[in-house]
Amino acid sequence: MRNPIECYRKLKQKEIIPCDNQFGFITPKVPIAGIKDPIQRLLIIRDELNKGKRGVESMVSSFVGWTLAIFPKWFVRRAFQFLTTGITLTITNVKGFPGQLRMHGMDLVRMLGFVPGPCNCEITALIISYNNCLNLCLNCNASTIDNPRLLIKDVMQEYKDLRDAALKSASSSS
């Protein structure tokens, strides 16, 4: 199961389209080799994510979740082991508050997330937006990824490329 990264795509000067956040069983084709333009990569990923949302997968996954909730834990565990066979990556996003939050009179410096993966899932990632910053949390098995910092570095570079392309597009249109 995967939840698409929330993003906004600007088609024309005044048209902004938000992506939906619906769960579904999908198989995105990532990484996208050979395409240098980050906007094009984002559009390809968006199209792959939309395939899952337009089909019955979203409805089926919600139905499976509600149905399994009435069974004992051992049955649910076995069912999710079966349903998540072959899934190696889960990414979810949490859209946070754009400003600074306070707790007990102190400013929150950053948010950290824990991403428990499904039974057979080897890599899970959580992207949290808070205080106009993106935070990436990665959980993985040491035998799956030798150096998880490289994966985080690649994700950060992808965001930087996308930001640079958006800024370049905005400056050329004004």
79 belongs to a structural domain: yes
Type and span of the H or E element at 97: none
60 belongs to a structural domain: yes
pTM: 0.42
16 belongs to a structural domain: yes
152 belongs to a structural domain: yes
Question: For residue 1, what pLDDT is reported?
Answer: 31
Profile the chain (174 residues) by mean pLDDT over runs of 10 residues. 36 42 41 71 71 62 73 81 61 59 68 59 68 71 73 77 78 72
- CB contact set of 111 (below 8 Å; sequence gap of 6+): 96, 128, 130, 135
1 belongs to a structural domain: no
- The parent domain of residue 43 ranges over 8-173
Tokens 């400003």 appear where?
99
Exposure string over 102-136, b if 16+ CB within 10 A, otherwise e:
eeeeeeeeebebebebeeebbbbbbbbbbbeeebe
3 belongs to a structural domain: no
Tokens describing residue 111: 């948010």
Question: For residue 90, what pLDDT is reported?
Answer: 59
Q: Are 115 and 124 in contact (CB under 8 A)?
A: yes
169 belongs to a structural domain: yes
23 belongs to a structural domain: yes
Q: How many domains does one find in the chain?
A: 1
